Amino acid sequence: MFGSIFYNLWGALIAFTIYFFSTFQEPYTPLRVIMGSFIVAIIVFIVMYIVRFLIAYILFTPEVNEEAVEGDLEDNELDSTEGEKQEVPAANSTVEFQDENSEEIAQVVRTMMNREEEQQVNA
Look up the domain containing 111 and give its range.
90-123
d(CA 118, CA 53): 62
In a domain, 75, yes or no: no
Of 12, 9, 39, nearest in space to 23 by CA: 39
Specify the higher pLDDT residue, 25 or 68. 25
How many domains does one find in the chain? Answer: 2
Mark which of 42, 59, 76 sits at the end of a domain.
59
Query: What pTM did the predictor assign?
Result: 0.48
Q: Is residue 64 part of a domain?
A: no
Same-domain check for residues 9 and 55:
yes
Residues with Cβ within 8 Å of 80's Cβ and at least 6 positions away in sequence, in order, are 86
Question: Does residue 100 sit within a domain?
Answer: yes
Examine residue 79 and state whether it is found in any structural domain, yes or no.
no
- pLDDT tens for 69-120 read 566 555 555 555 545 555 555 555 555 555 567 788 888 888 888 888 888 7
What is the spatial distance between Cα 48 and Cα 5, in angstroms, rounded to a whole number?
A: 9
